[in-house]
Structure 1
Amino acid sequence: MSLVNRIKKLCDEQKITIAELERKTGISNGQVRKWDTSSPSISKIELVSEFFDVSVDYLLGKTDKKRYYELTDKDEANIEKDLEKMIAGLDNGGYAAFGGRGIDDLDEEDRELLIDSLRHSLKISKKIAKQKFTPKKYRN
């Protein structure tokens, strides 16, 4: 996918036109469409990447990962392992929130809600950690 096609896709996701993008970023009118045939300066690409909160590598087609802090398959697998450990701890009555009862004592709907909530919390904390602790040289 070309640079201009990726920008069009991002504009569609944000429900704005390329002309609006150009106005909001200070890029001259009609400039983005010319990037199919000419090379833009890195400063212009950086403006667009900052506007959409995506990496420059994503815009240039070097990766399909929009943000450096997105979770990878390995991250997802680690989250599932951590979740299993947490659930095992709940099953053993190791947490005071259940008054010594295990997670199996909950009805099915409450059990699923609890597991989904824990999974979501783990994903959020992992993303925050990646944003906070990823060295700058690995961010793009």
Structure 2
Amino acid sequence: MYNEVSVFVENKPGKLSRVAELLGNAGIDILALELADEGQYGVFKILTAEPERAKEVLSNANIAVALNKVAVIEIPDRPGGLVQLAKALENAGLNVSDAYGCIIERGKRAVFVVKGDNLEAIESAARNAGLTTLTSLE
């Protein structure tokens, strides 16, 4: 399992640039970002190699932030690359409540970030399907 950085902000212009600037100035690379719109508020879900440090930087700037457990699964970066994981989860009867992906190495490797009721079972199903679960993104 891995820690995803969840940042809670008002849904106003400039919030994304503020978070990006703080992390960039601290030398923290954003590998993937998903924005969930919740009306007047939004949640940035950030994948970085340094989640604990990112939380500290944002907390010190009085930004509401939390770390949430997710499964980070390496999949092939090719058409149909997600099918192997999706089928493994389906066959294990596992539901995905939230997910997003990013390319790590174009044409070779991508990662799929998954939330669900049972992250250990999700990771186990992925490994049983021959996929790699990541605990570090360095």
Q: TM-score range by the shorter chain?
A: under 0.3
TM-score in terms of structure 1 length: 0.25
Report the TM-score when normalising by structure 2: 0.26
Which one has a larger percent helix, Structure 1 or Structure 2? 1
Q: Per chain length, whose mean CA-contact separation is higher, i.e. which structure has more relative contact order (CA < 8 Å, sep 6+)? A: 2
Larger Rg: 1
Q: Which structure shows the higher strand fraction? A: 2
